[in-house]
Amino acid sequence: MSAGSVSKLDFVLSLKGKAILNLELKRHLAPKTVGGITRSIPIEGNAHMMGSDIAYVDTNIKTGGEKLRTQFKKGDVTFLAANGSICFFIEDMQGTKPMTLIGKITTNLESLRNVKPGDIFSITQAGT
């Protein structure tokens, strides 16, 4: 068994019937938020788009923002406390809503460009 980082948690984001992406959530970026998300796994919900640069899924997770920022890079995974959404950045961008950076998409990011209304996102622990 490998010793893996305590701070780095591996998850799988599936876009039902379309694509599988790997996510890495990093506990040290936002311990409360990442803990809340980890306890809520599996998460499943409708996929949404904010413009063409952010795909997101709504959750029932209630936690305040941690280390809020508005500038994000392609592949970043964030949590928007205002509505409990987990957001996936398809492009670098300066946002208007402050969000908590929680991790990164490590594979297949481009497939998020094909998200359509009605698609289903599912987030599960990797290796399960």
Task: Please check whether residue 127 lies inside any domain of the structure.
Answer: no
pTM above threshold 0.75: yes
Task: Please check whether residue 24 lies inside any domain of the structure.
Answer: yes
Task: Please check whether residue 55 lies inside any domain of the structure.
Answer: yes
- The one-character DSSP state at 117 is T
For the segment 8-41, what is each residue's pLDDT rounded down to a tens digit? 999 999 998 889 999 999 999 999 999 999 999 9
For the segment 56-108, what is each residue's pLDDT rounded down to a tens digit? 999 999 998 999 999 999 999 999 999 999 999 999 999 788 999 999 999 99
* Residue 17, domain CATH: 2.40.100.20
How far from each other are the two terminal CA atoms of the chain, in whole angstroms?
15
How many domains are there within the chain?
1
What range defines the domain where residue 80 resides?
8-116
Task: Please check whether residue 12 lies inside any domain of the structure.
Answer: yes
Task: Please check whether residue 123 lies inside any domain of the structure.
Answer: no
Cα(95)–Cα(70) distance, integer angstroms? 5
Cα(48)–Cα(63) distance, integer angstroms? 21
